[in-house]
Amino acid sequence: MGKVIVVGAGAIGLLMARQLADAGRQVLLLEQGRSGGEASWAGGGIVSPLYPWRYSPAVSALAHWSQDFYPQLAQSLAEETGIDPQLHVTGLYWLDLPNEQRALAWAEEQQRELRALPISQVRAVLPALGAGFSRALYMPGVANIRNPRLLQALRASLALRPAVTLLEHCAVQGFLTEQGRVVGVRSTQGEYRADQVVVAAGAWSGDLLRDMGLQLPVEPVKGQMILYRCAEDFLPAMVLADGRYAIPRRDGHVLVGSTLEYQGYDKTPTDEALHSLEASAQALLPELAHAERVGHWAGLRPGSPNGVPYIGEVPEWPGLWLNCGHFRNGLVLAPASCRLLCDLLLARTPIIDPQPYRPQALRG
């Protein structure tokens, strides 16, 4: 039984460890903080890119596979652990898009249901919607996952697998190499060896690889969110306008996000972002001005040039694998990304063409 070290225990690292263990591998999962404590926890959990037609076919291929897979993943985790990740199928409304025809053409090409609706029909479904909107597109079947509960379920699932060892507060400081091959890692808790090392460290992935002479264009991109407590029937569907969205949870909580800030590794929530998010929230749903705000936080996305993740073995360093750089779509792309990485690492037939995601020419 081969051994794999996975660096980073966010949603992607946790899910990858689960898949590798189920395929018969021993997995050591190393996390510099607490598992699921970074971008995976901080995001909104929409199981779709915000504007899917703006992304390349490479992102669409991963997103479509994951969207189709999420219902069985959520069900299997709930049955296995007793923790329901609360996949909430609500559909998604886009309001006043500047180029609706591009979106509709994409949906026809991708065979995804997307339709224009009169705003009066939208208001009948979303009576809390603010004034001033005149057009809408609607995609039924779009879900959101309650990401903190997904992470809890994944951790509980790994605890049931003897083949997986999770070490938290264990920061990887470098890689062990022999004869031009990566054979393990150096960490704050010692050295560990394995047949393969997979970097799934989110926004920190680029920094980890720099000491290997590799230039991976992944950087932290800060995003801030706010959370309101509302009645369970307040918002029956997700809604997005002018880059900001509102996401209803099953129990009535409503998430509003998010900002896009290039501030390095600073995760401090700011008053400026709070006021901007509150203004967006009240423009979308005016009654939120009187709702209880119960949270405001920031997370760090793993920014990459086109939002296309790096998935595969690093050609310059055999034994070193990547599954990182998902930018704003880590949760929606996670199931497909992890399945593709496992297919490649285990020499199985890949679920989709792996070529667009291959790490290439990273040596600086």
Q: How far is CA 320 from CA 112, 129, 316, in A?
A: 36, 49, 9
Instruction: Quick: pLDDT tens for 137-195.
Output: 999 999 999 999 999 999 999 999 999 999 999 999 999 999 999 999 999 999 999 99
Average pLDDT over residues 244-252: 95
Q: What pTM did the predictor assign?
A: 0.95
At residue 5, what are phi and psi to the nearest 5 degrees? -100, 130
Q: Which pairing describes strands 135-139 and 92-95: parallel, antiparallel, or unpaired? A: antiparallel
Average pLDDT over residues 331-339: 97
Q: How far is CA 205 from CA 4, 37, 169, 183, in A?
A: 17, 16, 16, 18
Instruction: Quick: pLDDT tens for 48-77.
Output: 999 999 999 999 999 999 999 999 999 999
Average pLDDT over residues 74-91: 97
Domains of the chain plus CATH, in order, are: 3-56+148-218+305-357 (3.50.50.60), 92-140+219-303 (3.30.9.10)
Q: Which pairing describes strands 88-89 and 143-144: parallel, antiparallel, or unpaired? A: antiparallel
Could you give the 3-state DSSP secondary structure of residue 326? coil
